[in-house]
Structure 1
C-alpha cells in the first residue's frame, strides 16, 4: 500500500502551501490532492480509514518521493490524537516543520480567522478568547512530542524567512533531507500561497452568493465596477493590523520562553536568528 515518505506537519500561516507547491513541481516528488488531508488529526477524516489515506498516494509513480502537507498536525491542544495515530500507521516518516516569526504568524492567523468570519477585528479580545492564536506559534512545544516519538533525526526545521532569503539553497537543503537524488530548482513563477492580506471575509452562503459562476455574472452585469471595488475592499483586511502594545509584550514573552525549548532541539539553527529578532535584541 502506498504511504508517504514525508509529511509537512506545519506550522499554520508559515508558508507551508508555498513549500508544498515548490516541492510538487520538482520531478520525482509527488504531493497529495487535497494538499491538506489532515488525516491523522481530524476525527471525521480519520474515520474514513487507512485505505482512503493510502489512496491519496496511489497516483504517484513507483520511484516518486511521496508527501502530504497538513498543518493540523501541529495544532496542540486542538488535535490531541495526531501523533499517536501517526505513530501507529507510519514507521519513520520524514517530517518537515516550517516556522516564521511567531508574532507575525499569530497576526496572520488572526487575519485568517477574521476572513473566515469567526472573529471580529478586536485583536485583544480575539487573543483572549482564542488561545490557539498564540499556542500554534509555540513551536518548541508543538515539536516536543514529535521529537519524542519519531526522533530528531527525522525532523527538518525550516522557516519562511529562510525560503525568502535563500530559496534555492533552502529548497536544496530540504530535498537533501528527504533523500531526493536530484538538484531542485526553485520556480519563481509560482505565486505565494494563502497570503492573509488578500483573503476575503466569508459571508453566510458565501460559496453560493459570492463564488458561484452565476453570482459573478450577476455582479458584473448589474453592479458598477467602482461599487464592486468598494465592497471588495470592505471585505478584505487590507494592511496588517497594529498589535496593541500590551498584547505584543505578552506574545513576545511567551515566544521567548518557547524559543528556549526549540533551541534545545536545534541549537544554532538559522531559524532561531531569523524568526526571533525580538528575542535577541
Structure 2
C-alpha cells in the first residue's frame, strides 16, 4: 500500500488548509482525505488506548491506520498529506519521517510569527479552547512552554529538517506568497512534487478564514459542554432530528461571529512578540535566503 511522497510540515495558521484544498484539484495529486493526521509527530513505539480525539474523530495511531488513508490511490504521481504541526514536533517527526518516508518532499509555509501567533490566539478564543492568556502575558510568564508562541520559532525547527534531509528535499514558501500570487505559488509546489506545473487550480476561495465571537459568554454556551446547553439539547431532542439541531447551533454561532479585523492586536503585545521573535527571524532570513524585512520592521518605529 502506498505512503506519501510529499508532506506539508508547517505551519498552522499560514494557509496550509488552502494549499491542501488546491492540491486536491490537481488530477495527478492524491492527498489524504484527512488533514492533520499528526501521525509522524507521535511516539510510534507506543499505541495509546484512547482511539478518538475530544471532537470524536478516530485517531491515526498505527501504520495500518495511516496507510488506510491512501488506500484509494490509483495512478496519481504525487501522494501527500498536510500536518502543519510536524515542524514544531520535529524531535519526534524527523526520525519517524526518516524511517517511513525518507525520500518524501517536505513543504513548509511560514507566516510572520507575530501575525501567526495572534491568529492562533483568536482561533482559541473562537473555539472556546480554555481561557488563553493574552499574548503579552504569555511572553512574560510562559514563553518557553506556550505552544502558541513556540510554533513561531521557525529557524529553530526548520534548521533541524535541513540538517536531516537537505535543501533539495525541502521547499519553503511564505504566507505572503500565497496572498500575493496563489496561482504562481501552486505552480511552484506542483513542480516541486513532480506533477504537471501548468495546471491552474481555482485559488479564489480562502479556507479557514478567521472569525471571533461578538459575545464570549454566548460563544462558550454554544461551543462547550455545559448544563444549559445539555438541558436545551435534551428538550430539542424530543422534537428535532440531530441534523436540524446541529444546523440551528451553527446558525447561532454564525450570528454571534464577526470578522477578526474587529479585534486588533494591542500594540504593547505586538512589540513584546516582535522582541521575542526578532533573533529567530534574523536567523531564518539567512537560512532560507529570503528577504524578511517586512517581518523585521520594528512596530515601535512604524
Give TM-score scaled by structure 2 length. Answer: 0.76
Paired residue total: 268
Structure 1 match to 2:65: 52
With over 3 angstroms needed to count, the CA separation of the structure-2 counterparts of 1:92 and 1:218, relative to structure 1, is closer
With over 3 angstroms needed to count, the CA separation of the structure-2 counterparts of 1:219 and 1:80, relative to structure 1, is closer
The answer to whether structure 1 residue 247 and structure 2 residue 269 are counterparts is yes
Structure 1 match to 2:15: 15
The within-5 A match list for 1:1-281 is 1-43=1-43, 44=48, 48-76=61-89, 80-120=91-131, 122-123=133-134, 124-125=136-137, 128-129=141-142, 131-189=146-204, 191-197=205-211, 202-204=223-225, 209=233, 212-216=242-246, 232-234=254-256, 238-239=260-261, 241-267=263-289, 269=290, 272-273=292-293, 275-278=295-298
Displacement of 1:126 in angstroms is: 5.2
CA distance in structure 2 between the partners assigned to 1:179 and 1:217 by the alignment: 41
Displacement of 1:88 in angstroms is: 1.5
Preserved contact between residue 211 and residue 258 of structure 2 (Cα < 8 Å): yes
CA distance in structure 2 between the partners assigned to 1:277 and 1:164 by the alignment: 19
CA distance in structure 2 between the partners assigned to 1:106 and 1:87 by the alignment: 29
Displacement of 1:214 in angstroms is: 3.6
With over 3 angstroms needed to count, the CA separation of the structure-2 counterparts of 1:58 and 1:275, relative to structure 1, is farther
Match of 1:239, SS state, is: helix
Preserved contact between residue 3 and residue 66 of structure 1 (Cα < 8 Å): yes
Displacement of 1:276 in angstroms is: 4.3
Match of 1:265, SS state, is: helix
With over 3 angstroms needed to count, the CA separation of the structure-2 counterparts of 1:274 and 1:30, relative to structure 1, is farther
With over 3 angstroms needed to count, the CA separation of the structure-2 counterparts of 1:246 and 1:89, relative to structure 1, is same
Displacement of 1:118 in angstroms is: 2.4
Displacement of 1:182 in angstroms is: 3.8
Match of 1:73, SS state, is: coil
CA distance in structure 2 between the partners assigned to 1:212 and 1:278 by the alignment: 51
CA distance in structure 2 between the partners assigned to 1:94 and 1:138 by the alignment: 22
For residues 64-108 of structure 1, give each alpha carbon's deviation from its aligned partner in whole angstroms, at most 9, with x where no partner exists.
3101000121224xx741212111112221000001121111111
Preserved contact between residue 5 and residue 101 of structure 2 (Cα < 8 Å): no
CA distance in structure 1 between the partners assigned to 2:183 and 2:197 by the alignment: 13
Match of 1:181, SS state, is: coil
Displacement of 1:26 in angstroms is: 1.0
Unaligned runs of 5+ in 2: 52-58, 214-218
Preserved contact between residue 75 and residue 136 of structure 1 (Cα < 8 Å): yes
With over 3 angstroms needed to count, the CA separation of the structure-2 counterparts of 1:36 and 1:94, relative to structure 1, is same
With over 3 angstroms needed to count, the CA separation of the structure-2 counterparts of 1:8 and 1:219, relative to structure 1, is closer
Unaligned runs of 5+ in 1: 221-227
CA distance in structure 2 between the partners assigned to 1:59 and 1:164 by the alignment: 32
RMSD: 3.3
Match of 2:33, SS state, is: coil
